[in-house]
Structure 1
Amino acid sequence: MPFVNIKTPEGALSRTQKEEIVHRTTDMLVEYFSEAARPHTMVLIEEVKDGGYGRADEIFIIPQDYRANEE
């Protein structure tokens, strides 16, 4: 069973964008593994709260401009 785990800042993606990522990622994996993989493919999008991750010793807070406007 193909499994993809995507971590993204909380609020960075709208529901519509997450749905698109799930569909496009599934389609990509089907190209590699065949259509038989579709019903067994799992795509998990995890949202990480602000301050829950860092880069180069800096805690990351997503800027307001990068937050998705929920649809």
Structure 2
Amino acid sequence: MPFVNIKTPEAALTAAQKEEIIHRTTDMLAEYFSEAARPHTMVLIEEVKDGGYGRADEVFVLPPEYRAQQG
């Protein structure tokens, strides 16, 4: 069973964007593993709260301009 775990900053994506990522990722994996893999493919999008991750010793907080516009 293909399993993809995507970690993204909290509020960076809308629900529609997450749904699109899930569909497109599933389509891509079905291309590689065959359609037989589609019903067994798991795509997990985990949102990480601000301050819960970092890069190069810097704790990351998502700037407001990068937050998804919930609509």
Task: Tell me the TM-score range normalised by the shorter chain.
Answer: over 0.9
Q: Deviations over 1:24-48 (max 9, x none)?
A: 0000000000000000000000000
How far is 1:70 from its partner? Answer: 1.3
Alignment of 1:1-71 (within 5 A): 1-71=1-71
**Structure 1 spans left out of the alignment, 5+ residues:** none
| Length-normalised TM-score, structure 1 | 0.98
Q: Could you say what secondary structure the match of 2:6 adopts?
A: strand
| Length-normalised TM-score, structure 2 | 0.98
Query: Which stretches of structure 1, 4 residues or longer, exceed 4 Å deviation after superposition?
Result: none
Pairwise CA RMSD of aligned residues?
0.4
